[in-house]
Structure 1
Amino acid sequence: MRLTISSERLATMAAASLAVSLLGLFGYLAATTSGSNNSTSSNLLTATTTSNCVRARGESPSSFLEGVGYSKLRAAVIELYYASDPETTDLEEQFDDALMAMELVERDGHPVPIDGVDGLYVGSIGAAYNLPALQQAGITHILSLEPAGSCKWPNLFSCLHIDTLYDNSKPENNISQYFDRTLPFIDHALKKGGRVLVHCWRGKSRSVSTIIAYLIQEYRWTPDYALDIIHETRPIADPNDGYWQELEDFYDATVGKHAHHVEDDDEVNR
């Protein structure tokens, strides 16, 4: 494992693409801030050893942080990287995002199946970065709607990464502009008998909105009904207001305002 002290490395951390490397950085910082006079190579060895020991003991990221002192290490990494790139001003946010990604692997690190839709899963970045959980669920395809969430294992999964979508109300972040790419990706995966994980950062808004759009297109469900179905296994599902309006517009354009609603039936075939 190689650790590079640079703003580029911090960007990688902020992307939270390698939780183990972040643990290794903590090992490096622990050695640095403790007043060690070891060489850089020794510090990197300490980082690698720390990472391996944490994994071998089965220690969680949060318990490891508690043991080494989160506040001290956070302050150290901010100072260290700021010194290497004084123009960078958002180090605190990036560092905290990386830690949050580690925590999501720990507490929300499994793909969540959509009730009644075989092969369709939703999740946070924690699920997307948890290889054993992905393999246990039989995931074959990953749709990432998180700019920082590029596919970690492109040789193991078919991946589509939308790296320009942010979960806010700016017009350029309209989620429907990606439906012509995301919905066929989901449909192709499922109709081939695959299992697809749709994820964003928290598995709450972008991923859920995209799945609702797919359910509208494939099953003619209204947005409300589709969200109710998702809530059965993913209670935190909550598209933001802008995405919700897009979903209602998508339903009207795809199914029609006065179309028969599938949820009006006495029995629903899912």
Structure 2
Amino acid sequence: MKCWWEHLMHLPDDLSEMGVVLSRVNNSYTAASGEPVNTVQTVSSISNREVNSTDSEHSSVIPIQSKVCEPEEVLIPALPEVACMERGYVTPQQVYNLLNAEEGQPALYDPYYILVLDCRSADRYKDSHVVTARASVTVIHPALGCLISCIELQKYCIILLYAEYGCSPVGSVKARADAPDLQRCFFQLSDLGMDPVILLGGFSAFHALYPFLCTPRMVLVEPERHMLTIYPSEILEGALYQGSATQASDYRIIKNLHITHVVNATANCPNAFPNTLCYLRLRLTDDGQQDLVEALPLASRFINAALKADPAGRVLVHCSMGRSRSSALTLAFLMQHRQWSLLHALRWLKERRACTAPNLNFLRQLITYEEQLFGSRLTSLDDIRR
């Protein structure tokens, strides 16, 4: 599937002062004159011009302008909408990001990162469970009590419990009737000084969204964990993802997440599936000299168009490690199309991808971009560093 986006084309000099009509012919494009036009979608150092397009079934019109990225109107800052949830619960999307968290290396490789307890029947556990989950009776036994010492339990960063279904408040009569084993585990762990959390909607809700993170196999020890596939972080539910070049080149990941569009922000990694996915290639370097003045609005428009398409696409933004360049582009989109300040966008992103770390040069340019979008500076470097 070739992409209709042609925003980043390097046009010949004699076309620089006019709109160019491009027609799709045998997976290539020609100008109105019939002469071939270079359609490589890359940006390294782009001249100061803004490229827009309107697509039809067969063509794209690309007017060339002399100025870059001046917003049509000043945006009004908005606050991210945060779902109201009872304390002690986590959503399936939060669990997805916990299982795929990276900080130096994938957190799931650490056997003491997360203890997942399946509080369903033994048969349901054997049929399928969340990856790395243990049957709850192997830890909290109805008759024998806790089979793992408190010292051992305290080594875990997170203790997650789930039943088959369940959204009832912890300790309620309905919760005790619907998932007695989960309630027993929750209160026994709490009595031991632990702070367990419960998967909202249970296994059924998680499996409906992320069946590829469910398995009949027991995965407990560290060597087995190192064999697990680590997925990109989910920034907007079922819509926007951020990750590494390695993840972007793994077709199983692309297929399981139903990715349709990719923003490739690496300097040297080629587009992995150019005949299948729609790409925006931005040749960026992660250093103090890289100029993002054109990359930020181009990436924002590309992501927004993909998410607003009918049917809606799913976008993966990646650089080499998924920390700096990709974060800058994701933040620009959240600022421009969610109307969040840089500070709110950064907090949102870090909650979903803990390894987010745009370099200082990018942060300064994002602050300038924020001022362009909103008409005033809303975030300072001191705000970000707090």
Task: Return the TM-score normalized by structure 2.
Answer: 0.37
Q: Which runs of 4+ in 1 moved over 4 A?
A: 105-109
- The one-letter code sitting in structure 2 at the alignment partner of 1:136 is N
- The one-letter code sitting in structure 2 at the alignment partner of 1:184 is R
Aligned residues between the structures: 151
> Deviation of residue 258 (structure 1)?
6.8
1:217-256 equivalence runs, <5 A: 217-256=336-375
1:45-124 equivalence runs, <5 A: 109-114=230-235, 116=236, 118-124=238-244
| Cα deviation 1:7-58 (Å, max 9, x = unaligned) | xxxxxxxxxxxxxxxxxxxxxxxxxxxxxxxxxxxxxxxxxxxxxxxxxxxx
Give the alignment partner of residue 181 of structure 1, picking from 286, 298, 301. 298
The answer for unaligned runs of 5 or more in structure 2 is 1-225, 379-386
Indicate if the aligned counterparts of 1:109 and 1:128 stay in contact, CA closer than 8 A: no
Residue identity (%): 28
Q: Please tell me the root mean square deviation across aligned C-alpha atoms, in Å.
A: 2.0
Shift in alpha-carbon separation, 1:248–1:108, aligned structure 2, 3 A? farther
Alignment pair present for 1:127 and 2:247: yes
2 CA distance for matches of 1:124 and 1:219?
24
1:9-24 equivalence runs, <5 A: none
Shift in alpha-carbon separation, 1:244–1:232, aligned structure 2, 3 A? same
2 CA distance for matches of 1:108 and 1:255?
40
Give the alignment partner of residue 319 of structure 2, picking from 195, 200, 212. 200
Q: Give the secondary-structure state (helix, strand or coil) at the position aligned to 1:143.
A: strand
> Deviation of residue 223 (structure 1)?
1.1
Indicate if the aligned counterparts of 2:300 and 2:337 stay in contact, CA closer than 8 A: no
2 CA distance for matches of 1:111 and 1:145?
15
The structure that is helix-richer by fraction is 1
Q: Give the secondary-structure state (helix, strand or coil) at the position aligned to 2:328.
A: helix
Indicate if the aligned counterparts of 1:141 and 1:196 stay in contact, CA closer than 8 A: yes
> Deviation of residue 118 (structure 1)?
4.2
- The one-letter code sitting in structure 2 at the alignment partner of 1:120 is L
Indicate if the aligned counterparts of 2:245 and 2:320 stay in contact, CA closer than 8 A: yes
1 CA distance for matches of 2:261 and 2:373?
25
2 CA distance for matches of 1:258 and 1:200?
27
Q: Which has the higher contact order (CA 8 A, sep 6+)?
A: 2
The answer for unaligned runs of 5 or more in structure 1 is 1-104, 260-270
Alignment pair present for 1:190 and 2:311: no
2 CA distance for matches of 1:247 and 1:108?
32
Indicate if the aligned counterparts of 2:261 and 2:306 stay in contact, CA closer than 8 A: yes
| Cα deviation 1:215-268 (Å, max 9, x = unaligned) | 110111111111111112210001100100111111111012277xxxxxxxxx
Q: Which residue of 2 aligns with 1:154?
A: 274
- The one-letter code sitting in structure 2 at the alignment partner of 1:217 is Q
Q: Give the secondary-structure state (helix, strand or coil) at the position aligned to 1:175.
A: coil
1 CA distance for matches of 2:227 and 2:308?
31
- The one-letter code sitting in structure 1 at the alignment partner of 2:259 is I
2 CA distance for matches of 1:130 and 1:241?
30
- The one-letter code sitting in structure 1 at the alignment partner of 2:295 is Y
Q: Which residue of 2 aligns with 1:166?
A: 285
Indicate if the aligned counterparts of 1:139 and 1:194 stay in contact, CA closer than 8 A: yes
Q: Which residue of 1 aligns with 2:206?
A: none
Shift in alpha-carbon separation, 1:155–1:178, aligned structure 2, 3 A? same
2 CA distance for matches of 1:121 and 1:182?
14
The structure that is strand-richer by fraction is 2
Indicate if the aligned counterparts of 2:367 and 2:377 stay in contact, CA closer than 8 A: no
Indicate if the aligned counterparts of 2:368 and 2:377 stay in contact, CA closer than 8 A: no
Q: Give the secondary-structure state (helix, strand or coil) at the position aligned to 2:280.
A: strand
- The one-letter code sitting in structure 2 at the alignment partner of 1:125 is A
Q: Give the secondary-structure state (helix, strand or coil) at the position aligned to 1:134.
A: helix
Shift in alpha-carbon separation, 1:108–1:247, aligned structure 2, 3 A? farther
